[in-house]
Amino acid sequence: MALEGDLIRLREERDSDLPLLVKLRNDLDTQAWGKALPPDYTEGMYRQRMEDRKFSFDRNDGRFIIEFIENEEPIGIGYIGFSSVTYRMDATVGIMLDKKYWGSGVAFEAQELMLKFLFEEIGVRVIRLWTQTSVPRAIGLA
């Protein structure tokens, strides 16, 4: 199920998204909070992450590709996800966005769609967003 906005839509990640995910994950500007440095993710590593996420009613995370609609064609431009969901209590949100779209309102809309989903559909009460102090727009999202 895709989450639709005015500028974008959020949909679950697919194998065809691997090049985008690797590009974003290996860019220090979009991944300053990364746990693994130096940034050396490969498509094989991401594919394994996808395969490790087996179907479960107990899953406590979700991963979505941010698609921007340009000339009526969806273009993958980023990623937003949630993790660490404590049943109906709290969650953590993370976002990576192609630098070309920084300042365009896309991150704000993606976060608003994600917040609405988490609060209204999942029923969480507290949401955290981790960011770095050198990105004022991300601080604004928090």
Domain range annotation of the chain: 3-141
95 touches 77 (CB < 8 A)? no
The rounded distance, in Å, linking the Cα atoms of 69 and 67 is 6
pLDDT digits (tens, 9 = 90+) for 110-131: 999 999 999 998 889 998 887 6
pTM: 0.82
H helix runs in 41-122, sequence order? 43-52, 106-116
Regions of the chain with pLDDT less than 70: 1, 31-38, 54-59, 131-135, 138, 141-142
* pLDDT value at residue 20: 94
Residue 21, H or E segment? helix 18-25
- The domain 3-141 belongs to what CATH superfamily? Gcn5-related N-acetyltransferase (GNAT) (3.40.630.30)
